[in-house]
Structure 1
Amino acid sequence: MSMEYDAHGYEMVWRPNYELKAVVGWLLAIVGAVIVNFVGGLPTVPLYIMIAICLVMAAARARPALQLHRIHKNLKGQQLKEIELSEVVEQIKDRPDDQWLGFGFDWGPRHAQRAFELGKRDWAELRSKEDNPDMGVRWLHGIELNEGPIFQPMKHVEGHTLITGTTGSGKTRLFDLLITQRILAGESVIVLDPKGDAETRENMKRACNYMGDPRRFISFHPGFPLESVRLDPLANFSRPTELASRIAALIATSSGGEVFKDFGQMAMNNVIQGLLLIDARPTLTRLRRYLEGGTESLVLRAVQNYVEREAPDFHQDLQVALSKVEKASMLKRAAAAVRFYREFVQETKGNSDLEGLLTMFQHDKAHFSKMIASLLPIMNMLTSGDLGPMLSPERMDQDDTRPIYDTRKITEQNKVAYIGLDSLTDAMVGSAIGSMILSDLAAVAGDRYNYGTDLRPVNIFVDECAEVINDPLIQILNKGRGAKLRLFVATQTIADFEARLGDAAKATQVLGNINNNISLRVIDPDTQKYITDNLPLTRVKYVMRTQGMSSDSNDPAVFGGNHGERLMEEEAPLLQPQLLGYLPNLEYIAKISGGRIVKGRLPILVEKKESKAA
């Protein structure tokens, strides 16, 4: 018997091991011949001939019997494997331009045929053969005897990677393996982790220490403010209007709520333009201060700065006008500045950015407060308590010595950034932080795409991606390859994208920009179908058995019968969708490199192995 796949033949490897029985039979024949020869006192030459014939026949059956025994035994699958950082280095040291995806084999028609045949058997019987029954069925990996390390060229990873898997299936541990390799390669890494997984954080830190540069690692986590760096999510933009859009995107809208969202965005844009006119850096805290407390001081300074720079002929006159209300309230002084601008400056040296701020200042205060009521709650959340200085860092604050970073600084300094969003504590705030950071990163990606030279790769890992996905992330997926950005996004179901984006077309746009799919255990039928629909079809074979009986109506004593077998073939998926729901933890099916289908299993990256895994 041959274990090689024959596309034109049919071999049932899950049948009883008849070859082994034949080997045992020939060996018993030798024993019987020796006994008969010894008891009967027969000549030894015929005995030797008999033994030789039996040995030849037994040897002829021994190899296929052993192969069949091995593949039957292999259905128990493989035990989870623990691996230390030094072993990861050993695996990848000779393949610097490749990414290691654990151990496995290329899945093809042979495996589809074997899985089809196993589907006819009693799965409870197969499961009882496992040494330690766990989540999923291990026989799915055990249908192939020969596995080895799985590598993917990094050139192919530039097409981005989607990782799907239900809770506890191994998405985070896969992230650990991939993140560690990028750190060891000396590349910049940004991880957005809604859960705040401590093990991922420690693995990243350990990899930087292993490389001899612990300063590369930085961490941001709202739950641990003293251990975190400060992060400015509004630092990078091409046009000021981007910042207003970035924050307005965080506002939840219901039916008819777009009017309030648009008004809030306009108000933020006016404040941002005013801050830029006075050479102040827009931060969440400053925006909240002027939206909530009034723009009087901002208007006064903006008019003074603008007139001094753009209309210096009127500067002295402005000072005279303001001196008349020097002891008045800030509101009256700001109103005087607005009147002066409208009467003397606007016609000849007008500025639309400044005028938007002035119009907002003159807006009815009660109506203004109602219109921005949907904006203030999220602004309060992002600027309250310890989170305020973490997301709105003041560079001149000498009492706060925590380093200040933004996504541009992280990428330019080749940092390894762990950004925990703490979504379990506050899902809304976690989602808002992640969304703003991705928007900031999109602005950096645009600059890298347009003006960058000799760019180093940046690897972005987004766990539970549906919690933070936004239009800027879609743009990164679409154009990030040219900016040397590689994205690895993980989700539980495909429907999560549509639920977050509120649009099936946008969800399809996300999926259409991702070239590599790695699926761990998935229990959602639609996600299972999406994964397997992207795999080619194959043809499976089966035996159709027929039997019949006939008789002669004229002579009942005459009858006949027939029995037949036909080898049939039909089209079938390369992998049945439902099997994705039976994958054990840390086992996956992947379509990578534009068409390579892989069945793999992942090791668990640990600091130190407690025992040698099988």
Structure 2
Amino acid sequence: MSKHPIEQLLRPPVELAASFAYLFAAILAMSSPGVLLTVPSVAYVLALFCLVRFAQRTQIAVRLLKYQHYLLVLPKYEISSAQIPVSKTNLFLGIGFEWEAIHTQRHHDCKQPNRRHIIKRYKTSLYLRARAIEAFCKRHTAVYFLAWIIGREAWWNPVSPIPRVEGDTTIHAVGLWEQEENIEQPQSERVAHTFVVGTTRVGKTRLCETLVTQDIHNGDVVIVFDPKGDAELLIRMWSEAVRAGREHQFYMFHLGYPDISCRYNPVGSFGRITEPASRIASQLPGEGNSAAFREFAWRYVNVISRAGTELGKRLSYEFYLKYGADIDPLLSEYLSNIFTRNQAKHPHWRKHLRDIVESERKPDKSMSGRDRTAWAAVELYKHYGLFDDVAHALIKTFEYEKSFYDKLVASLFPLL
């Protein structure tokens, strides 16, 4: 059957009639040679011939029935995470067969309207009547065995119940006689994108679990974005991290569960010092007159970022909120850091600073509301004739009237 270029796998198994005829003839030849008007030795040879033909025709019929049965049933395939092969060179995707033109032809045949009675068997009157009989037999103990026979999922049962599964079962069935083997992809090809498409419950998440499992055990960095929040996928990733001894590297980010979620700092990592200010200012309105206020906010945040980075502080929204509302402590700390770096030239800067703080000198009217220690540090900085671009920017900001600058950056604080 499979040796011919044109296959007829969706026809009725007409070979069964010939099989039964050959079987009946073999039985008749062995039991009653006289009926065939021949001697026993000839009858036995004839019976052997009929049995051989019976086996051949039955084999063809069984292949047809089995093929038509698997058009409606997905083959079962299970593999534990410990059995998934892990390799630095190849990525395991699953098992399958090489798709050729003959499989395309078989799949095309399954979609023809005249084959609807096979593919849509669960809509035929015979199938519906069999399900009704099965339900009736299950309610009565005396005929319960009939329910078991009618409800058996097997190729020899023409009315076997069809499992409701998602996806196209015919894709697997057209390769029923192919030898399935591991499907692998070279790890070097993963630099390109992979797009997996499928409807609900066809195995996309299971494929993701397979890929994630291998990457975790390979020691790679794995980042999974799951908009659906699949708990099974999360459990699989955690269990594989534990099995690989990498549970200390496992982080979950979920706004709905802050008690177990890791924290995300959107301004903590950057390549250039101007990036945190740009990220924050970009979230402020920039249309019309708001553009100028956003520019002031950017400069303000950038000054704080540069000072905090120089002091070795970790940048965060809380950091900006703390020093954005009151820049005086940051200025005092930064200038103290400069004085410390110039300790050789000005060894008594602490005493000089304390003298200015305790003196009766008064700051300018614009800085009357500022912290006196910060003001004294600025005066000492100018007296020493030091220069630092970050300190210069901080001092310029400090010397603005506080209420005036607060109005300029007022839109920043609700965001922080």
TM-score by length of 2: 0.66
Which residue does 2:139 correspond to in 1? Answer: none
Q: Kindly report which structure 2 residues correspond to 1:86-235, keeping only aligned pairs within 5 A, or say none.
A: 87-92=80-85, 97-121=89-113, 125-127=118-120, 128=122, 131-145=162-176, 146=178, 147-159=180-192, 161-165=194-198, 170-194=203-227, 196-211=229-244, 215=248, 217=250, 219=252, 221-227=254-260, 234-235=267-268
- Assess, with a 3 A threshold, how the Cα gap between structure 1 residues 131 and 281 changes in structure 2: closer, same or farther: same
User: Cα distance, 1:272 vs. partner?
Assistant: 0.7
User: Cα distance, 1:20 vs. partner?
Assistant: 4.7
Higher relative contact order (CA 8 A, sep 6+): 1
Supply the distance in 2 between the matched residues of 1:2 and 1:269 (Cα, whole angstroms): 75
- Assess, with a 3 A threshold, how the Cα gap between structure 1 residues 151 and 82 changes in structure 2: closer, same or farther: same
Say which of 360, 382, 405 aligns to 1:365: 405
Supply the distance in 2 between the matched residues of 1:350 and 1:344 (Cα, whole angstroms): 12
RMSD: 4.6
Which residue does 2:128 correspond to in 1? Answer: none
Q: Does 1:237 align with 2:270?
A: yes
- Assess, with a 3 A threshold, how the Cα gap between structure 1 residues 169 and 37 changes in structure 2: closer, same or farther: closer
Q: Does the 8 Å CA contact 2:296/2:409 hold for their aligned counterparts?
A: no
Which residue does 1:74 correspond to in 2? Answer: 70
Post-superposition Cα deviations, 1:202-239, rounded to whole Å, max 9, x if no partner, equal: 33343344346755545555555554566655554332
- Assess, with a 3 A threshold, how the Cα gap between structure 1 residues 177 and 306 changes in structure 2: closer, same or farther: same
Supply the distance in 1 between the matched residues of 2:237 and 2:172 (Cα, whole angstroms): 29
Which residue does 1:282 correspond to in 2? Answer: 315
- Assess, with a 3 A threshold, how the Cα gap between structure 1 residues 92 and 269 changes in structure 2: closer, same or farther: same
Which residue does 1:602 correspond to in 2? Answer: none
User: Cα distance, 1:286 vs. partner?
Assistant: 0.4
More strand by share: 1
- Assess, with a 3 A threshold, how the Cα gap between structure 1 residues 185 and 253 changes in structure 2: closer, same or farther: same
- Assess, with a 3 A threshold, how the Cα gap between structure 1 residues 276 and 185 changes in structure 2: closer, same or farther: closer
* Residue identity opposite 1:144 in structure 2: G
Q: Does the 8 Å CA contact 2:277/2:302 hold for their aligned counterparts?
A: yes
- Assess, with a 3 A threshold, how the Cα gap between structure 1 residues 254 and 282 changes in structure 2: closer, same or farther: closer
Supply the distance in 1 between the matched residues of 2:81 and 2:381 (Cα, whole angstroms): 67
- Assess, with a 3 A threshold, how the Cα gap between structure 1 residues 269 and 27 changes in structure 2: closer, same or farther: farther
Supply the distance in 1 between the matched residues of 2:289 and 2:37 (Cα, whole angstroms): 105
- More deviation in 114-123 or 331-340? 331-340
User: Cα distance, 1:167 vs. partner?
Assistant: 5.8
Q: Does the 8 Å CA contact 2:107/2:170 hold for their aligned counterparts?
A: no
Which residue does 1:571 correspond to in 2? Answer: none
Supply the distance in 2 between the matched residues of 1:89 and 1:96 (Cα, whole angstroms): 16
Q: Secondary structure at the match of 2:409?
A: helix
Q: Does the 8 Å CA contact 1:311/1:349 hold for their aligned counterparts?
A: no
User: Cα distance, 1:117 vs. partner?
Assistant: 1.7
Q: Secondary structure at the match of 1:135?
A: coil
Q: Kindly report which structure 2 residues correspond to 1:342-491, keeping only aligned pairs within 5 A, or say none.
A: 349=387, 351=389, 353-358=390-395, 362=400, 364-365=404-405, 367-372=407-412, 376-377=414-415, 379=416
Q: Secondary structure at the match of 2:94?
A: strand
Supply the distance in 2 between the matched residues of 1:201 and 1:316 (Cα, whole angstroms): 57
User: Cα distance, 1:273 vs. partner?
Assistant: 0.9
Post-superposition Cα deviations, 1:282-340, rounded to whole Å, max 9, x if no partner, equal: 1221012233x242332343345346647987995994766635896435765676688
Q: Does 1:43 align with 2:12?
A: no
- Assess, with a 3 A threshold, how the Cα gap between structure 1 residues 37 and 138 changes in structure 2: closer, same or farther: same
- Assess, with a 3 A threshold, how the Cα gap between structure 1 residues 269 and 32 changes in structure 2: closer, same or farther: farther
Segments of structure 2 that go 5 or more residues without pairing to the other structure are 123-159
Q: Does the 8 Å CA contact 2:95/2:183 hold for their aligned counterparts?
A: yes
Supply the distance in 1 between the matched residues of 2:202 and 2:280 (Cα, whole angstroms): 34
Supply the distance in 2 between the matched residues of 1:125 and 1:256 (Cα, whole angstroms): 68
Greater C-alpha radius of gyration: 2
Which residue does 2:303 correspond to in 1? Answer: 270
Q: Does the 8 Å CA contact 1:77/1:130 hold for their aligned counterparts?
A: no
Which residue does 1:2 correspond to in 2? Answer: 2
* Residue identity opposite 1:298 in structure 2: L
Q: Secondary structure at the match of 1:199?
A: helix
TM-score by length of 1: 0.48
Q: Secondary structure at the match of 1:103?
A: strand
Supply the distance in 1 between the matched residues of 2:195 and 2:393 (Cα, whole angstroms): 43
Q: Secondary structure at the match of 1:240?
A: coil
Supply the distance in 2 between the matched residues of 1:257 and 1:43 (Cα, whole angstroms): 115
Q: Does the 8 Å CA contact 1:179/1:189 hold for their aligned counterparts?
A: yes
Q: Does the 8 Å CA contact 1:71/1:144 hold for their aligned counterparts?
A: no
- Assess, with a 3 A threshold, how the Cα gap between structure 1 residues 290 and 103 changes in structure 2: closer, same or farther: same
Report how many aligned residue pairs link the two structures. 363
Post-superposition Cα deviations, 1:502-537, rounded to whole Å, max 9, x if no partner, equal: xxxxxxxxxxxxxxxxxxxxxxxxxxxxxxxxxxxx
- Assess, with a 3 A threshold, how the Cα gap between structure 1 residues 24 and 228 changes in structure 2: closer, same or farther: same
Supply the distance in 2 between the matched residues of 1:253 and 1:22 (Cα, whole angstroms): 84
Q: Kindly report which structure 2 residues correspond to 1:282-301, keeping only aligned pairs within 5 A, or say none.
A: 282-291=315-324, 293-301=325-333
Post-superposition Cα deviations, 1:396-421, rounded to whole Å, max 9, x if no partner, equal: xxxxxxxxxxxxxxxxxxxxxxxxxx
- Assess, with a 3 A threshold, how the Cα gap between structure 1 residues 44 and 284 changes in structure 2: closer, same or farther: same
Q: Secondary structure at the match of 2:306?
A: helix
Identity across matched positions, percent: 28
